[in-house]
Amino acid sequence: MPLAFVLISTESGTEREVLENIKKIPEVKNAHMVYGLHDIIAMIEANTMEGLREITTKKIRQLDRIRSTMTLIVKDNPPHA
């Protein structure tokens, strides 16, 4: 299954609210607040590469208070044992 990490920048002071909303998306497997250039990192998994795009563009990026995202698609994701 395709796997990606999404780096998310939020409006100042809204990190916790955005994190809680991201965690409600079923395809988000993990999400955490982080220090640095971005505010949140989320791991997402989908059945297809197109599915990853849909999750990022239609579910995550449409949430209120998100300023920007950067999606890092995992190059080699072996099947789970």
pLDDT of residue 37: 96
Share the mean pLDDT of the chain: 94
Give the Cα separation of 54 and 46 in Å (integer).
9
pLDDT tier at 5 (50, 70, 90 boundaries)?
very high
CA gap 8, 44 in Å, rounded: 13
pTM: 0.90
pLDDT digits (tens, 9 = 90+) for 48-64: 999 999 999 999 999 99
Residue 81 is predicted with a pLDDT of 54
**DSSP, residue by residue, 28-41:** EEEEEE-SSS-SEE
CATH numbers and ranges of domains, the chain: 3-71 (3.30.70.920)
* pLDDT grade for 76, boundaries at 50, 70 and 90: confident
